[in-house]
């Protein structure tokens, strides 16, 4: 004899229906959070990469300007005098020592409320360059990275994106978590799958450092759209299994 709940549905069926309802809710949160988060993640990745390479290749304040090494260098005081002389009515504020024997010394000199960075040859005392502080490509990328050039509003938008990224991770982990006694098999990509099932099978190995993580990481927009393919399923429509992944009936 089968036991039924007061509503007439078997307890197992009600539990399964509740699980599917929670799964669909997770899909919707995952999809809508992804729509908001993906543009910000792309922006953060691009501007962060620009900042990294600019600091390595060109330097933020001219610290990678090359000089010809000599047997002896001038005293720091003599170098500072040359830097201050290059900026009328300037006041010395900062000294950045050369990073290597063949690189320039950098001095910050303030004048009239503006900060100037002066590159000086530590061996000859000649001024190599005078540039505005925090006015280069590095700082432009940094402003986009931190505020979207929108000040406090942009900063708040990025904070919201960071919070929704946690939602994206939590819902993604819930949907990925092995079910139906799949065990460690979920860590193996199903290359024969197509569409959303293929994208989903590529995600678990990417968390383990698999080469597929590079492909998934480089295509966040495709990944987000693929993961949200079933968000439009009608309420109450049962999910079917194909290649080990849940999907809406076609």
* Confidence class for position 188, pLDDT limits 50, 70, 90: confident
Q: Which residue has the higher pLDDT, 237 or 193?
A: 193
Mean pLDDT to the nearest integer, 136-155: 94
Partners of 121 in the β-ladder? none
Q: CA 200 to CA 155: how far, in whole Å?
A: 32
* Confidence class for position 140, pLDDT limits 50, 70, 90: very high
What is the per-residue pLDDT for 13? Answer: 59
| CATH value of 76-134 in 3.40.50, 1.20.1180, 1.10.20, 3.10.450 | 3.10.450
What is the per-residue pLDDT for 161? Answer: 96
pTM, entire model: 0.65
Which residues fall within 8 angstroms of residue 24, CB to CB, at 6 or more apart? 230, 233, 235, 239
Quick check: 71 pLDDT over 60? yes
Please count the CA atoms within 13 angstroms of the CA of 107 that sit on its side-chain side.
30
- The string of pLDDT tens digits covering residues 87-107 is 999 999 999 999 999 999 999
- The string of pLDDT tens digits covering residues 29-64 is 999 999 999 999 999 999 999 999 998 888 888 889
Mean pLDDT to the nearest integer, 4-19: 60
* Confidence class for position 135, pLDDT limits 50, 70, 90: confident
- Least-confidence region, from 81-90, 102-111, 225-234: 225-234
Q: What angle do CA 129, 130, 134 make, to 5 degrees?
A: 120
* Confidence class for position 233, pLDDT limits 50, 70, 90: very low
The terminus-to-terminus CA distance of the chain in angstroms comes to: 36
- Taking alpha carbons only, the member of 30, 20, 28 closest to residue 236 is 20
C-alpha separations of 248 from 16, 147, 188, 195, 222 in Å: 16, 39, 23, 12, 19
- The string of pLDDT tens digits covering residues 202-222 is 766 545 444 444 444 444 444
What is the per-residue pLDDT for 139? Answer: 92
Q: What percent of the chain lies above the pLDDT cut of 70?
A: 69
Q: Which residue has the higher pLDDT, 168 or 245?
A: 168
Identity of the highest mean pLDDT range in 115-119, 194-198, 239-243:
115-119
Mean pLDDT of the chain: 79
Quick check: 186 pLDDT over 50? yes
Partners of 247 in the β-ladder? 240
Structural domain boundaries in the chain = 31-60+136-177, 76-134, 184-250
Residue ranges of alpha helices (H) inside the chain are 11-57, 76-85, 137-147, 152-176, 196-206, 212-218, 220-227
Q: What percent of the chain lies above the pLDDT cut of 90?
A: 53
């Amino acid at each position: 004899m089968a036991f039924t709940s007061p509503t007439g549905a078997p307890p197992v069926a009600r539990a399964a229906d509740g699980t599917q309802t929670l799964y669909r809710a997770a899909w919707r949160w995952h999809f809508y959070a992804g729509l908001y988060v993906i543009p910000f993640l792309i922006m953060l990745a691009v501007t962060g990469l620009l900042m990294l390479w600019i600091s390595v290749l060109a330097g933020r304040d001219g610290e990678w300007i090359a000089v010809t090494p000599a047997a002896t260098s001038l005293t720091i005081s003599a170098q500072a005098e040359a830097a201050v002389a290059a900026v009328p009515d300037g006041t010395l504020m900062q000294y950045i020592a050369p990073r290597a024997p063949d690189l320039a010394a950098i001095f910050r000199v303030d004048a009239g409320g503006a900060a100037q960075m002066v590159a000086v040859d530590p061996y000859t005392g000649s001024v190599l360059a005078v540039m505005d502080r925090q006015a280069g490509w590095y700082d432009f990328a940094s402003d986009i990275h931190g505020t979207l050039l929108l000040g406090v509003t942009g900063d708040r938008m990025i904070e919201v994106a960071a919070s929704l990224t946690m939602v994206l991770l939590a819902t993604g982990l819930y949907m990925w978590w092995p079910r139906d006694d799949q065990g460690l098999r979920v860590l193996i990509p199903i290359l024969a799958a197509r569409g959303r099932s293929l994208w989903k099978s590529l995600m678990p190995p990417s968390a383990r450092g698999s080469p597929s993580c590079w492909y998934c990481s480089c295509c966040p927009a495709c990944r987000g759209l693929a993961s949200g393919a079933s968000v439009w399923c009608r309420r109450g429509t049962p999910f079917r299994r194909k290649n080990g992944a849940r999907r809406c009936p076609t």
